[in-house]
């Protein structure tokens, strides 16, 4: 618990905590789930930032996490039933984050069945109809 939440060791736990460190080369299996970690680009040190691909019952959920464009997003989201991707800005380069236009240009390579955009700045939130994909909202419930 202390490794993930510094200062929490003295607190009394009402539940069991188990942490598993995921490595990009080694998918982790737990019951009927497989979780694959994929390196993304969000700063230094470069090995510290990951997106995740989760497969359960033949369905695939991919999550980009915070990242600027990297070709590893193609592998991460390829043919996923749902790809949840950040798109912080609409069409300009911002270090450590994706631009929506950049992501949509790469979608033919990724081919997700469904895309939900999250982690949007005011630049994205003010675009309205220019965003052709679903966007995350507080309280959104998603069925896969």
- Distance separating alpha carbons of residues 44 and 1, to the nearest angstrom: 24
Q: Tell me: pLDDT of 20 over 90.
A: no
Residue 1 has pLDDT above 70, yes or no: no
Q: Which domains does the chain have, with CATH numbers?
A: 28-135 (3.60.15.10)
Helical segments of 2-128, H only? 72-77, 100-110, 122-125
pLDDT for 16 beyond 90: no
Task: Please provide residue 93's backbone torsions phi and psi, each rounded to the nearest 5 degrees.
Answer: -80, 130
Query: For residue 48, what pLDDT is reported?
Result: 86
Q: What is the pLDDT of residue 7?
A: 83
Question: 129 phi and psi, to 5 degrees?
Answer: -70, -10
The whole-number pLDDT of residue 30 equals 92
In the numeric block, the tokens 């990009």 are attached to 24
């Amino acid at each position: 618990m202390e490794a993930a939440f510094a200062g929490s060791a003295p607190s009394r736990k009402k539940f069991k905590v188990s942490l598993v460190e995921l490595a990009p080369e080694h998918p982790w299996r737990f019951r009927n789930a497989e979780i694959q970690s994929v390196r993304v680009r969000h700063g230094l040190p470069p090995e510290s930032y990951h997106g995740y691909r989760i497969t359960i019952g033949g369905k695939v959920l991919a999550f980009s996490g915070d990242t600027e464009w990297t070709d590893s997003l193609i592998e991460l989201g390829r043919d996923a039933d749902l790809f949840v991707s950040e798109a912080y800005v609409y069409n300009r380069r911002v270090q450590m984050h994706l631009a929506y236009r950049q992501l949509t240009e790469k979608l033919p390579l990724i081919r997700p069945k469904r895309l939900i955009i999250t982690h949007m700045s005011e630049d994205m939130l003010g675009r309205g109809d220019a965003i052709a994909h679903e966007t995350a909202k507080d309280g959104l419930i998603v069925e896969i």
